[in-house]
């Protein structure tokens, strides 16, 4: 491990949440709102309403922010259709993989403080991952291995290039079986192993890597390992680390691993194929602290909470006078770290995400638009969706944040919408811009 270099950054202070003000989604007698056409904003609302009316989604909450100000919040449909409960602005959603950027930012606060370094080997804190063996062929036998050429580093975890994870490999079934609850319960992983963090990491350590550290990008597993790493470095449970370093300073009071009983009426029902109910508020798997708090997928949140997180990222690591990351670290998070070879390699089995890196890159826990493509979203836009139907987009050039939360598992797979809803929403948002 390299010796830490201590660097002072401005002290964090607690953010005091102001009363929520919903400006609504219908603008009468107004032609423009913070650079958006009022008619264009109305069309965004109509798009969301149309998907609900046609029965393509049960409900949705969408929020648009510009220059740090809320422009429009839409609520449409039902958070619980059977109970007749309408969607609300403060509805809680299971944000699944949108947990990953929050975990990455928490890790980067430790980097800013010099407690860990990006190039540090993780062996000191995660001895279960020391002395790795690497499969000669990712699709071959896990018995046919060679020694790792170097240790796994902190940056390998942040960029998902440790040499292990969901996607193409013969180890995919074993890794999927290690999906933590309550995510595993919600998506029906029949053979999921219910393990506490230390035992989970011991099981991961029994597996070889599928490629040399730093050489390929694979999904999810790195974030769960990163959550254990920062918990051990900080000497605190993961939720405490996230709360003290990210959630509380940003005023994200509705974000966490559990939903208290007195808040469960705000939790949306999670729907699956054919609108089957996968998780209900009264019996939710998010009702008790998880055995293994997943740094990759475990959190619940709201559009307002996550909007604050997204705004912090595009405002250089600081929001409303509260600094979370140094400007240098925030810039590094937002920079593409993939090599040309990694851009060319599809990480998932066809047909999922075969062209994910054609016009996008990956930084520290987030992806960014690297090419103009169709121009929606703009180059430099940060994002990473959740497989239970939540997505966010933070465009630094236009100082724009847009979030769309629905409660439909598998409507987003391999970081791609499986419905035109996502594209229609973004097209509407950008189409409404007039400056």
Give mean pLDDT, residues 265-269: 98
Q: What angle do CA 27, 399, 96 make, to 5 degrees?
A: 90
Q: Which of 20-24, 135-139, 313-317, 421-425 has the lowest mean pLDDT?
A: 20-24
Higher pLDDT, 412 or 23: 412
Residue the block writes with tokens 């708090």: 293
Three-class DSSP category at 406: strand
> Hey, CA dihedral for 86, 92, 94, 100, is it positive or negative?
positive
**Would you place residue 22 in the very low, low, confident or very high pLDDT band (cuts 50, 70, 90)?**
very low
Cα 304 to Cα 252, 399, 414: the distances in Å are: 8, 16, 25
pLDDT, average across residues 265-292: 96
Least confident of 7-11, 174-178, 313-317: 7-11
Instruction: Indicate whether 3 pLDDT > 80.
Output: no
174 burial level (CB within 10 Å; 0-12, 13-18, 19+): middle
pLDDT 10s digits, 327-354: 999 999 999 999 999 999 999 998 888 8
Separation CA 180–CA 221 (nearest Å): 10
Provide the percentage of residues in the chain whose pLDDT is more than 90.
88
Q: Is the pLDDT of residue 357 over 60?
A: yes
**Contacts with 111 (C-beta within 8 Å, 6 or more apart), sequence order:** 117, 118, 154, 329
Euclidean distance between CA atoms 382 and 313, whole angstroms: 8
The full set of domains in the chain, from first to last, is 32-93+251-432 (3.40.710.10), 103-234 (3.40.710.10)
Give the per-residue pLDDT at 29. 61
Tell me the pLDDT tens digit for each residue of 216-261: 999 999 999 999 999 999 999 999 999 999 999 999 999 999 999 9
Segment 401-421, tens digit of pLDDT: 999 999 999 999 999 999 999
């Amino acid at each position: 491990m390299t010796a830490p270099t201590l660097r002072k950054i401005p002290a964090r202070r607690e953010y005091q949440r102001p009363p929520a003000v919903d400006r609504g989604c219908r603008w009468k007698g107004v032609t423009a709102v913070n650079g958006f056409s009022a008619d264009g904003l109305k069309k965004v609302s109509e798009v969301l309403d149309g998907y609900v009316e046609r029965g393509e989604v049960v409900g949705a909450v969408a929020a648009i922010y510009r220059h740090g100000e809320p422009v429009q919040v839409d609520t449409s449909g039902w958070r619980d259709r059977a109970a007749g409960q309408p969607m609300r602005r403060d509805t809680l959603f299971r944000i699944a993989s949108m947990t990953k950027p929050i975990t990455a930012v928490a890790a980067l606060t430790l980097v800013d403080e010099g407690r860990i370094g990006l190039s540090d080997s993780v062996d000191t804190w995660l001895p279960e991952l020391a002395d790795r063996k690497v499969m000669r062929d990712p699709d071959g036998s896990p018995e046919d291995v060679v020694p790792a050429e170097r240790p796994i580093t902190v940056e390998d975890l942040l960029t998902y290039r440790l040499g292990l994870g969901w996607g193409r490999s013969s180890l995919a079934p074993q890794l999927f079986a290690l999906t933590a609850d309550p995510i595993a319960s919600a998506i029906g992983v029949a053979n999921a192993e219910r393990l506490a963090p230390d035992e989970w990491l011991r099981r991961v350590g029994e597996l070889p890597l599928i490629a040399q550290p730093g050489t390929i990008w694979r999904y999810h597993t790195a974030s769960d390992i990163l959550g254990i790493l920062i918990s051990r470095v900080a000497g605190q449970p993961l939720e405490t680390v996230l709360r003290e370093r990210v959630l509380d300073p940003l005023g994200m009071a509705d974000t966490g691993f559990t939903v208290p009983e007195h808040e469960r009426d705000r939790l949306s029902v999670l729907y699956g194929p054919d609108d089957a109910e996968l998780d209900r508020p009264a019996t939710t798997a998010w009702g008790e602290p998880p055995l293994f708090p997943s740094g990759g997928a475990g959190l619940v949140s709201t559009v307002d909470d996550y909007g604050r997180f997204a705004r912090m990222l595009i405002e250089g690591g600081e929001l409303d006078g509260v600094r979370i990351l140094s400007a240098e670290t925030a810039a590094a998070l937002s920079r593409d770290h993939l090599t040309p070879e990694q851009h060319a390699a599809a990480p998932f089995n066809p047909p999922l995400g075969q062209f994910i890196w054609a016009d996008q890159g990956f930084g520290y826990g987030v992806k960014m638009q690297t090419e103009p493509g169709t121009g929606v979203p703009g180059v430099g836009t940060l994002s990473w969706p959740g497989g239970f139907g939540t997505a966010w987009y933070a465009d630094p050039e236009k100082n724009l944040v847009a979030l769309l939360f629905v409660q439909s598992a598998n409507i987003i797979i391999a970081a791609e919408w499986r419905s035109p809803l996502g594209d229609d929403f973004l097209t509407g948002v950008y189409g409404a811009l007039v400056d």
